[in-house]
Amino acid sequence: MRICRFSTGEEPRFGVVTGEVDEFGQPAEDSVVVALAGDPLYVGVKVLEEQYPLGDVRLLAPIIPRSKVVGIGRNYAAHAAEMGNDLPAEPLMFLKPNTTVVGPGDPIFYPPQTSNLHYEGELAVVIGRICRDVPAEQATDVIFGYTIANDVTARDLQRSDVQFTRAKGFDSFCPLGPWIETDLDPQAFIDGRQVQTFLNGDVVQDGSTADMIFDVPTLVAHVSSVMTLLPGDVILTGTPEGVGPMQVGDEVEISVAGIGSLTNPVAQRS
């Protein structure tokens, strides 16, 4: 099931995207959005009779985390190497405020404090219920679904500040979308799903979730051993090698096989 947040020009609503998808998770042209009654994280999936052609709605960020976005650093060996870092002995966590979240098509704002703004295409995990100290083998019990993220990073600020808060915390630095896919199993990502980033149509990242150092169940267990996770919290699972700079006017597309693609333009922050 592909659960989305959308707008037809009025208040945001939740819906289910129906129709055939290809092997990469891209929907057919005749796909429709079936409206839901309320937030499915809290009231379940209650389908209404209202339907809209997918092309007639504006997709929004599929979730606005109630409390936090948890990032995971250096979770692909090749990315750690390209950054000149050693492999972590355990997952390296950081936090992004929920004000970083934007949706498909929303601009990534290039702030004046940086001159080296990077894309980082990632698989994201959406938590479905309050949980703490979750064993890895029970991770599926607390996962609501999966979406796509761009962990936008001001690389020069990351290096100068050492800790990651400012470099990864500006407004618009966490695009999410296009929807939450609820029918995938963590084993699919252990076996390997392609993660690609395109900058102005050119492939700049081409990795596989099979190359994660710490898999999805391990990440859920580790993060929940430190902090309580709430419904709608998001865990970013790390980025493959190939990170690089974006410029104002660029367009960044991130694709995760089986989910779909997320596209955002880069604009100057005024």
Residues of the chain above pLDDT 90, percent: 89
Q: What is the pTM of this model?
A: 0.97
Query: pLDDT tens, 108-167?
Result: 999 999 999 999 999 999 999 999 999 999 999 999 999 999 999 999 999 999 899 999
Sign, CA torsion 85/234/24/108: negative
Domains and CATH numbers, the chain: 2-60 (no CATH), 69-268 (3.90.850.10)
Instruction: Check pLDDT > 90 for residue 28.
Output: no
